[in-house]
Amino acid sequence: MNKTVESNQHAQVKEQYKDVYAYTSQVLDLIAKSEITKDEAEWVTRQTVENFRDHVNPGFLGYRKSVTKDGQFAAVEWKDAGPNSFMDVNGKVYIDCLGGFGIYNVGHRHPKVVEAVINQLNRQPLHSQDLLDPLRAMLAKILADVTPGNLKYAYFANSGTETVEAAIKLAKMHTGRTTFIATTKAFHGKSLGALSATAKGVFRKPFLPMIPGFRHVHFGDIEMLRKTFEACALVGEEIAGVILEPIQGEGGVNLPPDDYLQQVRELCDQYGALLILDEVQTGMGRTGKMFCCEHYNVVPDILCLAKAFGGGIMPAGAVVATEEVFKSFFPNPFVQTTTFGGNPLACAAAIATFNVLIEENLLDRCVEMGEYMLKGLREAAAAHSDKVQEVRGKGLLIGIEFHSDEIGYEVSKGLFDNGVLVAGTLINAKTIRIEPPLTITYEEADKVIETFKNVLPQVQI
């Protein structure tokens, strides 16, 4: 091409996109700064609010207004402030008791996870998709070694809902059946297959009909599950799989009866169905075991992981299954693929996360800190039985259930105002989660408990 023509075309492109170029340059300059000025912070806040209103979804602004007070809905998250906290654009620090809905098990920006990702980034960020990529193979071996029972083969995705989708497809292929049983108050994601297993009507109704073949039974009710198995067998709709969370996170941190999971396992075996455990939120040490099912001595046929699997640095998920089940994918390895699932950066982060969980003994620490926080929160709530219905949990997956949604919202607002971030659960709005990184310190735990204790009397009912 003639250089003059090329130069003119470039000038035309720059003129066409001059505003976008200037805006992107301004944003990139801000990202590059370790500290920003007050004027810059005000610009970031203004741009964030306006762009959420005009280009993302104004509903998010409405939600933030409902869970904050005194105009704090416009608080803009800016950077991490330590392993267990983050800072808004104006410099206010919050103890993170939401943990990104459970992604920060090893803390914010753990140096070993960051280093692993940077090292891989400097060598090769993504892979060709065609040659054999080593980190995916190595991570699959680690999963086979660390998961219970004879779980052996892994498929990698980017998120929890993708892992559930893959698990559903795998169960269909293996069993040749199309009927599934899920539970009330379950949350398995919002893509269409996962949403068919999810229980909350407000998420489902706009997109009906769901994928056919899903039945829901009450979580923890083994007799209802047994009768559903019997009824489905009688009408020729044999069950492909039962999908459930060992502890329901979004459902309100609901713990099962002690023998429930073992009885579910027995029913699956009796009727030739697969047991699919969604450990997207309960896995990776969150409950004090590497995987929550280990508390109940139950091994699933398919295990779903995500959230903390990427170490709080990369989005990553995995489906791990027995060879007997996974071999349905053997004849055609392209029957279930994703462009970015199992990419080198995500695999590096996951490998480093397992290393950190073991090196820093975070499973035992989770048990220790979980017991400490559960005891402290219960003591703080003891004098307010008119507001607090129950404080429950396992490890550092703790739920505080109130007598009404309104009380929960007011407590959340008070905690946020005092530098503690919590959130309600998506299925059960009466329950707020205390789900900090497993690295939370006693000093930070004490502040959370003391703040909760101080906020409760201020809430009017």
Q: What is the CATH number of the domain that holds 161?
A: 3.40.640.10
- Asked whether residue 235 is assigned to any structural domain, the reply reads yes
pLDDT of 4 over the 80 cut: no
Q: How confident is the model at residue 424 (pLDDT cuts 50, 70, 90)?
A: confident
Which candidate, 156, 131, 124, 161, places its Cα nearest to that of 143? 156
DSSP tag of 132: P
d(CA 175, CA 455): 52
Displacement of CA 98 from its chain's centroid (Å): 10
Q: What is the CATH number of the domain that holds 417?
A: 3.90.1150.10
Q: Which of 289, 324, 358 is the last residue of a domain?
A: 358
- Asked whether residue 27 is assigned to any structural domain, the reply reads no
d(CA 341, CA 337): 8
Q: How confident is the model at residue 291 (pLDDT cuts 50, 70, 90)?
A: very high
Do 330 and 282 share a structural domain? yes
pLDDT at 281: 97
pLDDT digits (tens, 9 = 90+) for 380-401: 999 999 999 999 999 999 999 9
Structural domain of 428: 83-103+360-456
Do 294 and 270 share a structural domain? yes
pLDDT at 427: 66
The set of long-range contacts for 97-101, using a CB threshold of 8 Å and a minimum separation of 24, is: 97/415, 97/420, 97/421, 97/422, 97/433, 97/434, 97/435, 97/436, 97/448, 98/421, 98/422, 98/423, 98/433, 98/435, 99/435, 99/436, 99/437, 100/307, 100/312, 101/281, 101/307, 101/423, 101/435
Question: What is the percentage of the chain residues whose pLDDT exceeds 90?
Answer: 88
pLDDT of 436 over the 60 cut: yes
Do 228 and 336 share a structural domain? yes
Do 294 and 376 share a structural domain? no
Instruction: Pick the range with the lowest mean pLDDT from 10-24, 107-121, 269-283, 345-359.
Output: 10-24
pLDDT at 325: 98
Which candidate, 122, 116, 120, places its Cα nearest to that of 352? 116
Do 405 and 275 share a structural domain? no
pLDDT digits (tens, 9 = 90+) for 222-262: 999 999 999 999 999 999 999 999 999 999 999 999 999 99
Do 449 and 308 share a structural domain? no
pLDDT at 404: 92
- Asked whether residue 15 is assigned to any structural domain, the reply reads no
pLDDT at 5: 66
pLDDT at 9: 82
Question: How many structural domains are present in the chain?
Answer: 2
pLDDT of 69 over the 80 cut: no
Which candidate, 218, 209, 297, 314, places its Cα nearest to that of 261? 297
Q: Which of 317, 338, 358 is the last residue of a domain?
A: 358
- Asked whether residue 91 is assigned to any structural domain, the reply reads yes
- Asked whether residue 24 is assigned to any structural domain, the reply reads no
Do 296 and 206 share a structural domain? yes
Helices (H), 336-419: 344-359, 362-381, 405-417
Do 289 and 425 share a structural domain? no
Q: What is the average pLDDT across 126-149? A: 96
pLDDT at 157: 98
- Asked whether residue 66 is assigned to any structural domain, the reply reads no
Q: Which of 333, 358, 383 is the last residue of a domain?
A: 358
Q: Which residues, 6 or more positions from 385, have their beta carbon under 8 angstroms from its beta carbon?
A: none
d(CA 84, CA 94): 9
Do 267 and 333 share a structural domain? yes
Mean pLDDT, all residues of the chain? 94
Do 330 and 278 share a structural domain? yes
From the CB of residue 334, how many other CB atoms can be counted at a distance below 10 Å?
6
Question: What predicted TM-score, i.e. pTM, was given to this entire model?
Answer: 0.95
- Asked whether residue 272 is assigned to any structural domain, the reply reads yes
- Asked whether residue 10 is assigned to any structural domain, the reply reads no
For 92, the enclosing helix (H) or strand (E) is none
Segments of 89-199 assigned E as strands:
93-96, 151-157, 179-183
d(CA 240, CA 27): 50
Q: What is the average pLDDT across 36-65? A: 91
pLDDT of 95 over the 60 cut: yes
Q: What is the average pLDDT across 121-126? A: 96
pLDDT at 1: 56
Question: What is the percentage of the chain residues whose pLDDT exceeds 70?
Answer: 98
From the CB of residue 223, how many other CB atoms can be counted at a distance below 10 Å?
10
Q: How confident is the model at residue 8 (pLDDT cuts 50, 70, 90)?
A: confident
Do 127 and 91 share a structural domain? no
Do 411 and 366 share a structural domain? yes
pLDDT at 67: 73
10 Å CB burial of residue 387 (0-12, 13-18, 19+) is buried
